Structure 1
Amino acid sequence: MAAGLQIWNASGVLVLDATQRCGRIKGAVQLTGANGSVASDLSDGTPFWSFQPDFLYRHISNVTPPPIVSINAGGISWTYSSTAGLNFPNPVTGWLFWGVF
C-alpha cells in the first residue's frame, strides 16, 4: 500500500507525487550574514537544502545579498557576495535546512 501525498491540478494532471521519496532533515542553522559551513553526512541519499529568509529587503537601497549555498555528500557551505564599497549592506539572514531524499 502506497503512502504519501499526491496533488492534481484542475485538469486532472498530477503536479506533485510524494509517494516515492520523502526527505529527511539532517540539520539546520541560523545564518547571520557571515560565510560558513557545517559538516554533515549526506551520503545516504540525494542531498537537498532550503533557505527560509527572515526578510527580503530591509531598506530602500536594496543592498541585501542572499546566501550562495553549496552542498555535497560531506556537508553544506554558504557564502555571501562581496559588499565592499557598498553603503549600508544588509545580508539576508534566516534559517538554512538540509537533508537527503
Structure 2
Amino acid sequence: MLDATQRIGRIKGSQQLGGISGSISMDLSDGTPFWSFQPDFLFRHISGISPVPVVTISASAVTWTYSSPPKSNYIYPITGWLFWGVY
C-alpha cells in the first residue's frame, strides 16, 4: 500500500565500477538525488584492506573516486554496481 505522504525513488542510471575513478553527467535536478552501491564482494584478500568507492552526487553529475588504502600491498578495489536516481 502506498502512503501518499512518502516519496518513491526513481532510478535514473547505473554503472559497473571496476576499481577506477570516473564521472557521469546526468540531470538530477527534478528531485532529491540519491545513490546506492552494491559490491561484487567485500574483500579479496585476507588483510581486508580494500579501497572502497567514494561517491559524490549533485543535480548535474555522479562522481566516484577510490579511497587510498593504508598499505600498497594486495590492493584489490571493491568493484560493483552504482545506482543513482531521485526521489
Q: State the aligned residue count.
A: 87
Specify every segment of 5 or more residues in structure 1 that has no aligned partner in the other structure, as ranges: 6-17
Q: TM-score, normalised by structure 2?
A: 0.90
Q: In the alignment, does 2:34 pair up with 1:48?
A: yes
Specify every segment of 5 or more residues in structure 2 that has no aligned partner in the other structure, as ranges: none
What is the deviation of 1:83?
4.4
Instruction: Give distance in 2, aligned partners of 1:81 and 1:20.
Output: 34
Q: In the alignment, does 2:66 pair up with 1:68?
A: no
Instruction: Give distance in 2, aligned partners of 1:71 and 1:24.
Output: 15
Q: How does 1:62-101 map to 2 (within 5 A)?
A: 62-83=48-69, 86-101=72-87
Instruction: Give distance in 1, aligned partners of 2:22 and 2:69.
Output: 16
What is the deviation of 1:70?
0.2
What is the deviation of 1:66?
0.8
CA-atom RMSD in angstroms: 1.8
Is the contact between residue 50 and residue 69 of structure 2 (CA under 8 Å) also seen in structure 1? no
Q: TM-score, normalised by structure 1?
A: 0.79
Q: How does 1:14-25 map to 2 (within 5 A)?
A: 20-25=6-11
Name the structure, 1 or 2, with higher relative contact order (CA <8 Å, separation 6+): 2
Comparing 19-28 with 32-41, greater Cα deviation is found at: 19-28
Moved over 6 A (4+): none
